[in-house]
Amino acid sequence: MLEKCNPGTKTKIATDRQNRFKYGFMALGPCIEGFNTVIRPVIAVDATHLKSKTKGVLLVAVCKDGNEMIYPLAFGFANSECSKSWTWFLKQLHDVILHPELVLIVSDRHTGISNGMRAIFPNSAHVLCAYHLANNLKQHCRKRGDVIYHYYRAAYAYRVEKFDRVMAELKSIHPS
């Protein structure tokens, strides 16, 4: 029904041997078309655990549009967040992207995402989300305030020279 009402929409459901729900995928046609024609090929993927009556995991793939607003690309549902569910979701995502080799994927580097990326997007770049890295720094650094301040200055540097200068300052504060 969704595919009939929204041209270009892609949906897929996978079940186990007992015909019970295992995975689901949905990418709306207009979102696919927008991504393939005008959106920068940078996709953030992440998951959140569903804690309602129906347990499971919501998998998402989003981008940013020209106004820096979140642009939904695809949604998935799985019984758990693991390598198999991420690989299945990333395969469905790969199939709706015109030029998957040009895509950069941003994630928290969950093991399942990393394994899925190697299997499905072997020629695409995969980078760590700046927010997740900042949280790791907060947990492991003594001079948190100074380290985080310099980290974000480096993360948002547009020029290599500024990045190198800020990283040198950061190393003087926290050598490791």
**Structural domains in the chain (count):** 2
Q: Which two tokens stand for residue 73?
A: 């690309």
Co-location of 120 and 176 in the same domain: no
Residues 113 and 34 in one domain: yes
**Residue 67: pLDDT above 80?**
yes
What's the pLDDT score for residue 5?
A: 84
Mean pLDDT, range 89-116, rounded to an integer: 94
Structure tokens at 69: 């607003």
Same domain, 117 and 137: no
Whether residues 94 and 171 fall in one domain: no
Same domain, 71 and 37: yes
How would you classify residue 172: left for phi > 0, otherwise alpha for psi between -120 and 50, otherwise beta? alpha
Q: Same structural domain for residues 166 and 123?
A: no
Structural domain boundaries, residue 146: 129-176
Both 119 and 158 in one domain: the answer is: no
Instruction: State the pLDDT at residue 109.
Output: 79
Q: Which residue has the higher pLDDT, 158 or 174?
A: 158
- Considering the chain, what percentage of its residues have pLDDT values greater than 90? 67
pTM of the model: 0.85
Give the angle 119-128-116 at the CA atoms, nearest 5°.
15
What value does the CA radius of gyration of the chain take, rounded to a whole number of Å? 19
59: nearest Cα among 70, 44, 37: 44
Q: Do 12 and 90 belong together in one domain?
A: yes
Calculate mean pLDDT across residues 116-141. 87
Same domain, 42 and 122: yes
87 shares a domain with 12: yes
Per-residue pLDDT, averaged over 110-121, amounts to 94
Q: Looking at the structure, tell me whether residues 36 and 85 fall in a common domain.
A: yes
Average pLDDT of the chain is: 91
Domain closes at, from 128, 144, 164:
128
Q: Is 80 exceeded by the pLDDT of residue 52?
A: yes
- Residues 149, 85 within the same domain: no
